[in-house]
Amino acid sequence: MSRAARPRDAVEDERPGNDRPVATPMPWLEAPLARALADVHSHAVLLQGPAGIGQYPAALRLAAAWLCEDDAIAAAQRPCGRCAGCRLVAAGTHPDRLVLVPDAMRAAHGEGAEAGEGEGGAKSKAKPSADIRVEQVRAVVAFGSTTAARGRGKAVVVFPAERMNAVAANALLKTLEEPPGRVRFALATGAPGRLLPTILSRCVSIPLLPPGRDEALAWLGAEGVAAAKGGADLLDASGGRPEAALELHRDGVDGALLRALPDAAGRGDATLVRGLSLPLVVGLLQRLADDALVAACGRQPRHFPQAGFDRFASVRRRDVARLTAWAGALLEAARTAAHPWSAELAREALLQQAALALNPPQNRPDTAASRRESATTLPAR
């Protein structure tokens, strides 16, 4: 899980030394945030852009700025990081701030549910929800109905906003239409297309753009993923989105693995990905399938280093149908990857499937799967 996908105040709390608790380390967010603070007076802001470029830190930062109590500086310069409000935000104890994230995001970092605890909350034995629950959204009404403790109004952060189901989204919509008290909302999403149009229309949209390559690499280096550790390879594999690259690194992927994966997939060898979670393996293979399709059309692969991809110099336009079918099968696999019947068997099946897709029929490696010519899907659960 990326830094941006971390719960509550982890973003601020984990700054080395924590001396600038509300300062964002992502310079590419500065301009859009300054614009949101200086020009937007709506009670609802939607920060949107490609996933993995800092939506969550941006939303936390915006909320912190709204709650900052330093009147001596311009709005666009808040949060100051020094006032009492900023210190409470940094400590995660500001009474006028509510952060709605899925329980699974909190659980991944050993925290319980926050808003809307109770039925369906993380206290139950059930698997923590990957969605923002309707109980959490309803808690906003109770949160907004009391007087702000520090006189700056209240701030609600919602991330990832697309992780609200229809019921939760409709509950939020009612709240956005008739905000309880002086409540402002910072919604953040990497998938605005999955939000209800009515929610989109209630928010002022602030687009976030991915950083340039040098800026992204510098940020990754500061986060401990130097170029020597495969920072550039990770960034490529993540489509230039630095937070997503950091997430790959934290999940155990490095440059060497990325360089070796195309060849391993071509051989149907799952050894390389043995230690990776199934959703991650599916995600990497999806990028490989994407690259293979691009290569089959005579263009440069985007995600994997060219050196590793030379293995598939033989893919041609005639292979597009087979590769497209593979991409479709991976999409299906992505739906069930979080609940594998056996992660080890599933990883092996996925890599054999990759070998079938990546090799023209006449030079497939001699694997059990290649002998089972029709085996182009995962075994049934």
Residues that bind Zn ion (CB under 5 A): 68, 70, 79-80, 83, 86
Which residues have C-beta within 8 Å of that of residue 368, sequence separation ≥ 6? 352
Q: Between residues 81 and 210, which has the closer beta carbon with respect to Zn ion? A: 81
Report H helices in 157-297: 166-177, 197-202, 213-222, 231-237, 242-250, 255-267, 278-296
Q: 154 phi and psi, to 5 degrees?
A: -130, 160
C-beta separation of 291 from 239 below 8 A:
no
Shortest separation between residue 62's beta carbon and Zn ion, angstroms: 13
Nearer to Zn ion by Cβ, of 22 and 358: the residue is 22
Of the pair 77, 286, the CB lying nearest Zn ion is at 77
Beta carbon nearer to Zn ion, 71 or 178: 71
The least distance separating Zn ion from the CB of residue 20, rounded to whole angstroms, comes to 11
Shortest spacing between CB 30 and Zn ion, in angstroms: 17
Rounded CA-CA distance 157/144 in Å is: 13
Query: Which of 158, 152, 181 is CA-nearest to residue 171?
Result: 158
Angle at 236 between CA 231 and CA 237, to 5 degrees: 95
How near is the Cβ of 81 to Zn ion at its closest, in Å? 6
Distance (Å, rounded) from C-alpha 178 to C-alpha 200? 15
Nearest distance in Å: CB 89, Zn ion: 8
Number of DSSP helices (H) and strands (E) in the chain, helices first: 17, 5
31 Cβ contact list (under 8 Å, min separation 6): none
Q: Give the nearer residue to Zn ion in terms of CB position, either 44 or 86.
A: 86
Plot region of 52 (φ>0 → left; ψ -120 to 50 → alpha; else → beta): left
CB of 59 to Zn ion, least distance (A): 17
Min separation Cβ 79 and Zn ion, Å: 5
Q: What is the largest CA-CA distance in the chain?
A: 74
Nearer to Zn ion, 21 or 230 (CB): 21
61 or 133: CB nearest Zn ion: 61
